[in-house]
Structure 1
Amino acid sequence: MTESKINDTRKAELLSTQVEHIDIKSFDARPLIDAMGKMSFTSRDLARATRIYNQMLEDRDCTIFLVIAGSTSAAGCMDAYAELVRNNMVDGIVATGATIVDMDFFEGLGHKHYQALEIPDDDTLRSLYIDRIYDTYIDEEDLQHVDHTVFEIAESLEPRAYSSREFIREMGKYLVEHGKKDNSLVKLAYEHDVPIFCPAFVDSSAGFGLVKHQVDAAKEGRPYLMIDAVADFRELTQIKIEAGTTGLLMIGGGVPKNFIQDTVVCAEILGHEDVAVHKYAVQITVADVRDGACSSSTLQEAASWGKVNTGIEQMVFAEAGSVVPLLTSDAYHRGHWKNREQRRWAKLFDKAG
């Protein structure tokens, strides 16, 4: 057997077990959340966080932002987030480029994440073109397909400045026409006019595709597309100003967390001194508060900056993949989303454009 065939066989062995994304509709977490509310420690924190999310859904005036950092989409929560969009349980999304591009758009194109049932030397994984996220594998050749697809989308668009929201909307349109998965966050957000913002958009497979687009265009002497990060901040702040009452469901921390919270301060800078702080806030994280980093700053700390309300907030210090299914299943089965108005904030910019 040739070395290439041996490698192909070994790669197939390692990529033999797909990650199966949890279906929050298939089980009812309400009895468990109710029971956890009578406990202590993280269990009670999670129950209170779930109650706060349900309050957001009950509040007819509340615009809800889903804020995601980290790799929970790859680890099995992807369909949970998609159901929140499908069932009008969130109105806007702020996330890392990896969450939106390398994970969700990646699966929207028909690719999969795999469970690492064994973890050989990472140099071996590199030789087989397998990328690793803790105990999860990704086929690098599939990921390169994402890079090239982003390049193709960029090549098809008018060469001008785009916010990440605007470009991701084009990615959603692409999935409607060419995608292979219905439960894609990017696709569903396009269909339901839920805007997605990635403040560090090029820190993902999108970056590789967009760099190739710009380099190729420059070589040929033609204009090229670019991503306008300032437009992201302006557009998200505009939603905050128009929305009034807002709530945050934050998975992880990082840039997305700070970006959505900063909209309150930005609105004040623009002269909207009456803009309300985020009324509701939940954050699920494992970040340690002792190092002073922004990702681990508590919601109480954010209140000192004039970003969130100290009255209706809850930190949950837990690995998000283990608690997001419970929180979202509880909220789905309580059904407050059934009476919510669809806000379709993406249309705000269609009118402006």
Structure 2
Amino acid sequence: MSEDLATHPTEDQIDRQKKAELLSSQVEHIDITSFDARPIIDAMGKMSFTSRDLARATRIYNQMLEDKDCSVILVVAGSTSAGGCMDLYAEMVKSNMVDAIVATGATIVDMDFFEGLGHKHYQALEIPDDKVLRSLYIDRIYDTYIDEEALQDTDHVIAKIADSLEPKAYSSRAFIREMGKYLVEHGKKDNSLVKLAYEHDVPIFCPAFTDSSAGFGLVKHQVDAMHRGGHWMTLDSIADFRELTDIKIKAGTTGLLMIGGGVPKNFAQDTVVCAEILGHEDVEMHKYAIQITVADVRDGACSSSTLQEACSWGKVDTALEQMVFAEATSVLPLLASDAYHRGAWKEREKRRFAKLFD
């Protein structure tokens, strides 16, 4: 096969039988309600190394849920949703264990909204030459496969939603709320984070929203509108920052549960500084903070900057913070299951922060 054919396969060039073989083992998302991690977390607290770090992080998360004044912000970067944690995040929303979400566009669109439309992620049973995967229109995330044709269907749905909206500026939160509304009416999966967040008034922010499958759909919406000689909706990243800062000001005491780092991490932390800039000099630093990451601290990048470092910027208090250096799919289910079964969420008041923007 020539380079051109390998890069841009046509319908006739895709080996459907081979593709079906590779996309035969669906990723099954873990159910934190189906097992009780409290005994293992308690045992890990008596160990050392990452085990003890995880146990302390879990205790801090439980403290967030027990603190009646604390609002919890879930921060998600990376591909844990594709890797099997999608239902875990959905359960956190359903069980009132988080009050706002900051995530990458890929987490929200390419993974959760994608499955909300009825598409799936697949375990890679083999890792063939990636040019072969391209010829089959299969995208790879480490050892997980996504059907590119299904992903392009998602792009078109995003464009369809954008086409239906009044042509004006929207925060990512406002647009993702429209995505949730779409899934309520047309979705094929009840346990979707986007859908449940819409139903429970939990706002979701994606500060780099177009760095995802949504970007392709929104570009199509804009180009199509240009060709029609009409107007189009746009995304307002400043509104994102302002709205999340409004939540921080309203919330007062806050805790961060951060999976990975990058833009979502910095965006959530920066709300403290932004509130100060707006004249709220009494705003609290984030009282609680957990970060689960495998990033190396030595390059000075945001993804790997420690929570102690964030204190120097006035973002995170250091009394109740914990770094956990571990691959998140291996430890997050234990933390979330422990918190679910300890049940502090049952006594929490729902914040419904999305209603701030009605």
Q: Report the TM range for the smaller structure's normalisation.
A: over 0.9
Q: Which residue of 2 aligns with 1:221?
A: 229
Q: Which residue of 2 aligns with 1:192?
A: 200
Q: Percent sequence identity over matched residues?
A: 82
CA offsets 1:310-345 (integer angstroms, 9 cap, x no match): 000000000000001000000000000000000000
1:290 Cα deviation from its structure 2 partner? 0.6
Aligned length: 348
1:221 Cα deviation from its structure 2 partner? 1.1
Asked whether 1:150 is paired with 2:149, we answer no
Q: Which residue of 1 aligns with 2:321?
A: 313
Letter in 2 for 1:328: A
1:109 Cα deviation from its structure 2 partner? 0.2
Asked whether 1:9 is paired with 2:17, we answer yes
Q: Distance in 1 between matches of 2:346 and 2:184?
A: 25
Q: 1:167-246 to 2 correspondence within 5 Å?
A: 167-246=175-254
Q: Distance in 2 between matches of 1:6 and 1:157?
A: 36
Q: 1:240-259 to 2 correspondence within 5 Å?
A: 240-259=248-267
Q: Which residue of 1 aligns with 2:130?
A: 122
1:191 Cα deviation from its structure 2 partner? 0.1
Find runs of 4+ consecutive structure 1 residues off by over 2 angstroms.
3-6
Which residue among 83, 90, 102 is the counterpart of 1:94? 102
Q: Distance in 1 between matches of 2:29 and 2:49?
A: 27
1:4 Cα deviation from its structure 2 partner? 4.8
Q: Which residue of 2 aligns with 1:300?
A: 308
Q: Distance in 1 between matches of 2:214 and 2:17?
A: 30
Which residue among 43, 53, 56 is the counterpart of 1:35? 43
1:241 Cα deviation from its structure 2 partner? 0.5
CA offsets 1:237-281 (integer angstroms, 9 cap, x no match): 000011100000000000000000000000000000100000000
Gaps of 5+ in 2: 1-10
SS in 2 for 1:64: strand
1:219 Cα deviation from its structure 2 partner? 1.5
Q: Which residue of 2 aligns with 1:108?
A: 116
1:49 Cα deviation from its structure 2 partner? 0.1
Letter in 1 for 2:126: E
Contact 2:53 2:322 in 1 (8 A): yes
1:179 Cα deviation from its structure 2 partner? 0.2
Asked whether 1:159 is paired with 2:167, we answer yes
Q: 1:253-332 to 2 correspondence within 5 Å?
A: 253-332=261-340
Q: Which residue of 1 aligns with 2:144?
A: 136
Q: Distance in 2 between matches of 1:230 and 1:5?
A: 44
Instruction: Report the TM-score, using the length of structure 2 for normalisation.
Output: 0.96
Contact 2:14 2:135 in 1 (8 A): no
1:218 Cα deviation from its structure 2 partner? 1.1
1:6 Cα deviation from its structure 2 partner? 7.8
Contact 2:13 2:135 in 1 (8 A): no
Q: Distance in 2 between matches of 1:273 and 1:322?
A: 39
SS in 2 for 1:310: strand
Q: Distance in 2 between matches of 1:95 and 1:6?
A: 33
Asked whether 1:51 is paired with 2:85, we answer no
Instruction: Report the TM-score, using the length of structure 1 for normalisation.
Output: 0.98
1:5 Cα deviation from its structure 2 partner? 8.8
SS in 2 for 1:241: helix
Which residue among 71, 75, 86 is the counterpart of 2:79? 71
Q: 1:334-349 to 2 correspondence within 5 Å?
A: 334-349=342-357
Letter in 2 for 1:349: F
